[in-house]
Amino acid sequence: MPLLDLGAAFAIGLSYFTIISLTGLGGLFSERSGIVNIGLEGMLIVGTVMGAWGALEWGPIPGLFIGMLAGALFSIVHALATVTFRVDHIVSGVVINIVAFGLARFLSQIFFGSTQSDRVPDLDKLDVPLLSSLPLGLGRAFQRMSWITIVAILITIGALFVLNRTRFGLRLRSAGENPAATLTLGVRVAPLRYAGVAISGALAGFAGAFLAIEVNQLFQEGQTQGLGFIALAALILGNWQPLRLMAGALVFGFAQAIPLRLDDAPVISLLPEQFIRMIPYVVTIIAIAGFVGRVTPPAAAGKAYEGGGRI
Partner 1 sequence: MGDPATAAGATGRPAWVDTFRIQLLALAGALLFAAVVGGIIIASFGENPLTVYRVLWTFSTSRLSDFGKVLEIATPLIYSALAVAVAFKAGMFNIGVEGQYFVAMVTASAVALALEVPAVIHLPLVVLAAVIGGVVWAAIPAILKVKTGAHEVVTTIMMNGIAVSLVAWALLHPLRTGRGGLVDLRSDQFPDTALVPSLGSTFGLEEQLPGSVHLTWLFPLALVAALLVWFLLYRTRLGFETRAVGSAPGAAEAGGVSIGATQIKVFVLSGALAGFVGLNHLLGDAGFLGANYETQLGFTGIAVAFLGRNSPFGIVVAAIALGLLNRGEDGLALVTDLPREIVIILEGLLILSVVIAYEITRRIVLRRRQREVRSEEGAIGGASGAPA
Partner 2 sequence: MAGESDGEGRVGAPLVVMERITKRFPGVVANDAVDLTIRSGEIHGLIGENGAGKSTLMRVLYGLYPPDEGRILVRGKEVKIGSPRAAIALGIGMVHQHFVLVDRFTVTENIVLGAEGGPILDLDAAATRVGDLAESYGFAVDTHTIVEDLSVGQEQRVEILKALYRGAEILILDEPTAVLTPSETKELFQNLRRLRDDGKTVVFISHKLDEVLAIADRVTVLRRGRVVGETVPAETSKDALAEMMVGRPVLFRLEKPTVELGPPVLRVEGLVVGGKVRGIDLEVRAGEIVGVAGVEGNGQRELAEALVGLRRPDAGRVSIADTDVGGRSIAEVRELGVGYIPEDRRERGLVLEMTLWENTILGRQRRRGIVGRLGVLLIDRIKQLAAQLIAAFDVRARSIGVEAATLSGGNQQKLILARELGEQPKLLIAHQPIRGLDVGATEFVWTKILQQKAAGTGVLLISAELEEIYALSDRIVTLFEGRITGEYPPDVPPEELGIGMTGGVRAEAS
Minimal CA–CA distance to 6: which of 203, 187, 261? 261
* Half-sphere exposure for 6 (CA within 13 Å, toward CB): 12
Nearer to partner 2, 273 or 306 (CB): 306
Neighbours of 109 (CB within 10 A): 11
Q: Is 45 in the site for partner 1 (CB under 8 A)?
A: no
Distances (CA, A) of 243 to 24, 25, 143, 159, 170: 11, 10, 25, 10, 18
Torsion of CA 65, 67, 73, 78, to 10 degrees: -140
- Which residues, including other chains, have CB under 8 Å from residue 268's CB and lie 6 or more apart? 258, 259, 262, 276
Please list every residue from 178 through 217 that binds partner 1, using CB under 8 A.
none
Query: Minimum distance from CB of 235 to partner 2 (Å)?
Result: 17
Nearer to partner 1, 91 or 131 (CB): 91
Distances (CA, A) of 225 to 17, 168, 193, 300: 14, 33, 28, 30
Query: Minimum distance from CB of 95 to partner 1 (Å)?
Result: 5
Q: If binding means CB under 8 A, how many residues of this protein chain bind partner 1?
A: 42
Please list every residue from 175 through 214 that binds partner 2, using CB under 8 A.
177-178, 180-188
Indicate which single residue of 15, 30, 37, 97 sits in contact with partner 1 (rule: CB under 8 A). Answer: 97
Nearer to partner 2, 113 or 158 (CB): 158
Indicate which single residue of 130, 185, 270, 289 sits in contact with partner 1 (rule: CB under 8 A). Answer: 289
Rounded to whole angstroms, the Cα distance separating 207 from 229 reads 13
Q: Which of partner 2, partner 1, none has residue 121 at its interface (CB below 5 to 8 Å by kind)? A: none
Q: CB of 30 within 8 A of CB of 196? A: yes
Rounded to whole angstroms, the Cα distance separating 101 from 86 reads 23
**Residue span 13-42 as binding mask against partner 1, x where in contact by CB under 8 A, dash where not:** -----------------------x-x----
Indicate which single residue of 3, 4, 61, 90 sits in contact with partner 1 (rule: CB under 8 A). Answer: 90
Q: CB of 9 within 8 A of CB of 140? A: no
Please list every residue from 224 through 243 that binds partner 1, using CB under 8 A.
226, 229-230, 232-233, 236
Query: Minimum distance from CB of 32 to partner 1 (Å)?
Result: 16
**Residue span 125-164 as binding mask against partner 2, x where in contact by CB under 8 A, dash where not:** ---------------------------------------x
Interface contacts to partner 2, rule CB under 8 A: 164-171, 173-174, 177-178, 180-188, 299, 308, 311
